[in-house]
A and B are shown apart, each in its own frame.
Chain A
Amino acid sequence: MKFQKIKQRIFDEFNLVKQADELGIKVWQTPSFLFIAMGVVIIAAMGGVYIVSANYNSPEILALSELAVTGLLFTIGSLIIKTVEEIAKANKMKTEFVSVASHQLKTPIAEINWEIELLQSKFSEGLDAKQSEIINEIIRSSEKMGRLVNDLLDVARIDQGQLALNKEKIDICALVKEAVEAQQVIAKAFNVELRESYPIRPVEIIIDRRRILVAFDNLVSNAIKYIDGHGVVEIFLEEKDGMVQVCVRDSGVGIPRSEQAKIAQKFFRSNNSIKNKTDGTGLGLYIAKNIVEQSGGSFWFKSEEGVGSEFYFTLPTVQTKKA
């Protein structure tokens, strides 16, 4: 098993076409290709210097050939550095673009939301049932768009290392209960039963309430979405060793073993049986993992295809901070 993993890793490292595709550069520009090229040049150069020193008994020629080899190595080395720099620069620009674009999108979203709210709350006289239904559909679409933009903005902030956490002291049990309640409507629509289990006493933690709510919501809505037909999602909260552990267990389709390592990567969506029946951006778990880890906790999961998945995260409780 371990041997296979190592073999897969080596294969991935030297899969130049895939690497070039992922980084958006040409094959000859990939760090792996340049690294191989450098290795070949070093071996060829050593051979060359050996041949020169064996055939010509002249220190000048030897020095010149060594100079030529050094020059060649420097050229390839600088090419590697340049490529890596370009990749880093392009990545930074992309993150900045996402950040700026999301900020710009927030204004029209606010406009739509406020106009609709104004219409519904102050100028709804004369609207019939059908018109009100259409307005409600618009609200749902706008809310969806708002969430997407917030996700993109969060990802950009995570990548820039600027995800600010607005920490406050809260009871995680109350927060989770509230979040589960809010998911009941969706769960019913998907024929999914939500079961909960909490510690007897409240568990106080210092976190960014809104962001932890986003992380938890992402886990529960994933659990609901990836159940094919009827099913159960169980939510457990446990307090141990100065940490609170939250587990979201589902009886869903599970994640194929070959994809488990990539599951919390940006934009990754598992290629499972109901991928096409559910919508998603592949950002939810990436955001959840980063929020939890930045809050001082850990994030992990277990999953078996056809059986279900268990997602866990921990967060430090207030007692730990005092100790």
Chain B
Amino acid sequence: MNKRLLIIEDDTVLQKALSSYLTAESFEVMCALDGEEGVKMAISEKPDLILLDIVLPKKDGYQVLQEVKANEESKHIPIVLLTNLGSIADVEKALEMGATTYLVKADYKLEEVTAKIKEILNIK
């Protein structure tokens, strides 16, 4: 069965590019455009992995991370942060809160993002 991914990203261009690429790589992709919707979908849909932006409307990435990790239904889901904030302080904060890893959007190719996802989900 195809692995299910949830992308929480408000930049529609990035979100569409990422979801098209991942769909072509045989993932089942769901998208949320803000933090609030993201938390709801994470809990109701229980995806295999969440790709999470930090700067988001309604609830920011840190808040989403905290709520998803605090919920019994969703706390096991690995979360990969997609960010343009390259500073170590931001990243450390997210990792301490339970994120699996982070990717700086402008520095990673879609191919590399996909490779990271496959590595976390143990897909060969």
Contacts and interface: CB of A to CB of B under 8 A. Distances in A.
Contacts of A164: 87-89
B84 A122 contact: no
B97 interface: no
How many residues of B sit at the interface, in one of the four size bands?
A: 10 to 19
Contacts of A115: 13, 17
B1 interface: no
Nearest to B85: A103
Q: A-side binding surface: helix, strand, loop or mixed? A: helix
B98 to A, nearest CB: 20
A62 B110 CA distance: 81
Nearest to B23: A122
A117 B18 CA distance: 10
Contacts of B123: none
Interface stretch (A50-58, A105-113, A271-279, A305-313): A105-113
B51 to A, nearest CB: 13
B106 A113 contact: yes
Q: Which of B85, B88, B105 has the most CB of A within 10 A?
A: B105
Contacts of A122: 20-21, 24
B88 A109 contact: no
B14 interface: yes
21 contacts: A106-B84, A106-B105, A107-B105, A110-B14, A110-B84, A110-B105, A110-B106, A111-B11, A111-B14, A114-B13, A114-B109, A114-B110, A117-B21, A117-B109, A117-B110, A118-B110, A121-B21, A122-B21, A162-B87, A164-B88, A166-B88
5 nearest A-B pairs in the assembled complex, by CB-CB distance: A164-B88, A114-B17, A110-B105, A106-B106, A110-B106
Interface of B: 11, 13-14, 17-18, 20-21, 24, 84-89, 105-106, 109-111
